[in-house]
Structure 1
Amino acid sequence: MSDTVLKKFISTYLNTDVAIITLVTIGLITIITIIAYSLERRISRSSPSYQRITVHMVEGLILALSMIMLQQIFHILNNGSIDNGWLYANAQLTILLYCMYLIRNKITLIINILMPFVYHSTFNMDRLDNKHLPFFILSYILLILIVLFIYRQTEKLQNSEWKYLIMQLLFGLSWWILIWVDHSFPIYEIINMLVVFLIYMSVIRFCERKLQDTMLNYNDLQVQANYDELTGIRNRASLDKASDELYNTYSQEKVPLTVAMFDIDHFKEFNDKYGHSTGDEVLKHVAHTIEREMFLTDTKGQLFRFGGEEFIIIFRGKTPQECVSIITDLRNTLLNTPLILNGQRLDVSISFGISKLTTSDNSFNDLFNRVDKYLYESKNSGRNRLTVEGKTYDFNDIK
């Protein structure tokens, strides 16, 4: 008897179709995760409504396509029959629930709520004559409540393994009662289906965590490679990567590209008088003040730390003359925002060199060398000055 039960279990739950559907499910969830992360990084709460709606619709479309793809693969494996339908159902339920946790937008919420009416043979009115109709209504109400609760409490659920498990169990139970209403299999089989569903979700949760760790590590590597560790702004490596693209794009266009280079006046004195830790604080103060002011005034400039106390700002679509007023405002903001450190007031000034990309430049380095030269003209003229295309100005003389 025990051998017969074991063989039945193996033939039902440990066969090739189970392995294929499981791998396909994991693959689809991996693809959904990567696309969702990529899309969500492009928007924020401050993004325009049309951008957020577009991203959410794309995410909903990806979920719908994943469900259709899973259905097609299942029918191919079963030659169009519905044998082992529990396998297909659990795989779809896994994707539906997983996307509720991952994507968290109203499109996903609506898909989860409407799915019982488009699932397999349920898109008909036959169940209205079914004696199990009350079970369908109660289970559907339970499903709606669970989906709404998950939608509103996603982060809390993910931080609690027990709450996460209970929601999985209730979600699976409500769905399997809905399926039972339409297909009338022995009710005790619901327990088996729930166990399989929980196993599916455990496997997917494990894979999700590994995938998230991998993506977070990748993001960390990107940050380390492209952002300055001390100041948090883009570094020279990031500038080097962008320089060829900038040259190739703007050397062929009539749209101007202006580069401004500045450094901190008498920076060595901060290190010698107060120590290198104070010098580091001065660097962070300058970077954060300039970056914040650029963001608040929407200058459309991009700030890089070139090295030491030297920084570069790239202005796309602006001439040097248009940048003079912007840079003057940045310098004035920095001058009017002294660094208070250990009760000591530290006034920081900066010197600038500015130039634009010309048709005679053979590479970005030609532009950079010219800007670097103009910066040193400002420093040699007494610092706290600005040199634009070879002409030096005192900031106090600029109106």
Structure 2
Amino acid sequence: MEGITLNILKGITDNYINLTSTIITLVTIGLITVITIITYGLERRLNDKSPFYLKLFTHLVEGALLAGSMIILQQTFHVLNNGAVNNGWLYANAQLTILLYAMYLLRNKITLLINLLMPFAYHHSSNIERLGSSRWPFFLISYIFLVIIIFYIYWQTNSLKDSTIKYLTLQILYGAAWWILLWVDHSFSISNILNMLVVFVIYMAIIRYCEHKMQLTLNGYDTLKKAVNYDELTGIRNRSNLDKNSQEIYEQYSHEDNVPLSMAMFDIDHFKLFNDQYGHSTGDEVLRHVSHTMERELYLKKTHGQIFRFGGEEFIIIFRGKNADECKPIIIDLRNTLLHSPLFFNGKKLNVSVSFGVSELKPTDSGFADLFNRVDSYLYKSKNAGRNKMTIENVTYNFDETTK
């Protein structure tokens, strides 16, 4: 046993502590960094309601990234070795590392398929002569074992990420199955297989550490982005986000003759009284209650409305693809939902009403500011008419007298 241990340590020292192995390791880390960043950017654009073609395109791109990374590693190794395949386990371990990492990171059917087919596409592993070899039962058993491991990882990715023991165990089993498959076509000694398995575990440990650091960085970026674009109190988009997108919105819809754009601005009636009578904590709760109620209803009713907190108790809703008349029943619904959902806070029942101003983008508008100023004036008209009203294209309606 002591002799095997010494052989393993000697093998690691001779084969991995050198310039070639260092370059391969750095290339592997670089490829995984690229895969992580691109995948992160693609996946965060998807959700359960994303169209099938978008999901398929994303997964195909991720599969292409994985396949391309495997090819780059192989070509890098061949360049470093002047076309020879000596010490091929260097890039074999690197490729196995990327394959397994992709299973944890991507978890899509394209990645699953690549992992399942890779044993047949690997160097020499598709050699028909293996069927005449006395070792072919080992290939069959190891491949079945590998398939079980791959499917287990595919379905249990989240639990494996949270358990170091499970993660390490599956990693060792995955590597062992792969190296037995390769042993069928290449004559490795037991000490060499153990050597390669130990280095594979070390590779994965390095990659997992780097991935953890990258994830912290990306999460920090998301936190910063949210702080810049979302209101800290209510959690909805803020004025900065509206200002940043307003010119783009105007440019897009001012050239779309058949696709309307409407804006609604509303504020909370007599909001100052909530602060004066019950304190600022109650006022904050009223703001959260109104913004969350409006945002939820806009989503549930599939209105394509996007809400922003403009400042204080004022909010803006952008309705893409709807004219002012189409917005009227939506706004009535929003107001009625708010009216029938009073806020209960600190033992008090608080009824909240709102006033609206609504207008759509017109061909005569020279910029987003023209639409904004018009909507703002309509809002003040509703407030001056006694509040709890809406003004649409300069016509004021009393909510209690309107019908859809």
**Aligned equivalent of 1:157:** 160
**Aligned equivalent of 1:378:** 382
Percent of matched pairs sharing the same residue: 63
Letter in 2 for 1:226: N
Q: Deviations over 1:303-350 (max 9, x none)?
A: 000011000001122211221111111111111111122332111110
Select 2:172's aligned residue among 153, 169, 172.
169
Matches of residues 1-399 of structure 1 in structure 2 within 5 Å? 10-254=13-257, 255-399=259-403
The farther-off stretch of 184-193 and 379-388 is 184-193
CA displacement at 1:87 relative to structure 2: 0.5
The farther-off stretch of 356-365 and 125-134 is 356-365
CA displacement at 1:360 relative to structure 2: 3.0
Question: What secondary structure, in the 3-state scheme, does the structure 2 residue paired with 1:393 have?
Answer: strand
The farther-off stretch of 41-50 and 86-95 is 41-50
Partner Cα separation in structure 1 for residue 28 and residue 184 of structure 2? 25
Partner Cα separation in structure 2 for residue 370 and residue 251 of structure 1? 16
Question: What secondary structure, in the 3-state scheme, does the structure 2 residue paired with 1:345 have?
Answer: strand
Shift of the 257–281 alpha-carbon distance from structure 1 to 2, 3 Å rule, reads same
Letter in 1 for 2:30: G
Letter in 1 for 2:344: I
Letter in 2 for 1:168: Q
Unmatched runs of 5 consecutive residues or more in structure 2: 1-7
Letter in 2 for 1:93: L
**Runs of 4+ that moved beyond 6 A:** 5-8
Question: What secondary structure, in the 3-state scheme, does the structure 2 residue paired with 1:337 have?
Answer: coil
Q: Deviations over 1:139-192 (max 9, x none)?
A: 212211211221122111111111111111111111111111101122320011
Question: What secondary structure, in the 3-state scheme, does the structure 2 residue paired with 1:304 have?
Answer: strand
Partner Cα separation in structure 2 for residue 8 and residue 336 of structure 1? 74
Unmatched runs of 5 consecutive residues or more in structure 1: none
Partner Cα separation in structure 2 for residue 257 and residue 53 of structure 1? 31
Superposition RMSD on alpha carbons, in Å?
A: 1.8
Question: What secondary structure, in the 3-state scheme, does the structure 2 residue paired with 1:259 have?
Answer: strand
CA displacement at 1:271 relative to structure 2: 0.9
CA displacement at 1:47 relative to structure 2: 3.0
Question: What secondary structure, in the 3-state scheme, does the structure 1 residue paired with 2:46 have?
Answer: coil
1:339·1:345 contact (CA, 8 Å) conserved in 2? Answer: yes
CA displacement at 1:224 relative to structure 2: 0.7
Letter in 2 for 1:327: I
2:264·2:357 contact (CA, 8 Å) conserved in 1? Answer: yes
CA displacement at 1:362 relative to structure 2: 2.7
CA displacement at 1:48 relative to structure 2: 3.5
2:11·2:195 contact (CA, 8 Å) conserved in 1? Answer: no
**Aligned equivalent of 2:4:** none
Q: Deviations over 1:288-316 (max 9, x none)?
A: 11111111111111100001100000112
TM-score by length of 2: 0.94
CA displacement at 1:124 relative to structure 2: 2.1
1:384·1:394 contact (CA, 8 Å) conserved in 2? Answer: yes
Letter in 2 for 1:234: R
CA displacement at 1:11 relative to structure 2: 5.0
Q: Deviations over 1:209-266 (max 9, x none)?
A: 0100011000111111101111111000000001111122222331322111000001
Shift of the 7–122 alpha-carbon distance from structure 1 to 2, 3 Å rule, reads closer
CA displacement at 1:359 relative to structure 2: 3.1
Question: What secondary structure, in the 3-state scheme, does the structure 2 residue paired with 1:122 have?
Answer: coil
Partner Cα separation in structure 1 for residue 219 and residue 310 of structure 2? 26
Aligned residues: 396
1:94·1:200 contact (CA, 8 Å) conserved in 2? Answer: yes
Shift of the 134–240 alpha-carbon distance from structure 1 to 2, 3 Å rule, reads same
1:75·1:82 contact (CA, 8 Å) conserved in 2? Answer: yes
CA displacement at 1:201 relative to structure 2: 0.6
CA displacement at 1:7 relative to structure 2: 9.2
TM-score by length of 1: 0.95
1:180·1:187 contact (CA, 8 Å) conserved in 2? Answer: no
Partner Cα separation in structure 2 for residue 257 and residue 8 of structure 1? 68
Question: What secondary structure, in the 3-state scheme, does the structure 1 residue paired with 2:190 have?
Answer: coil
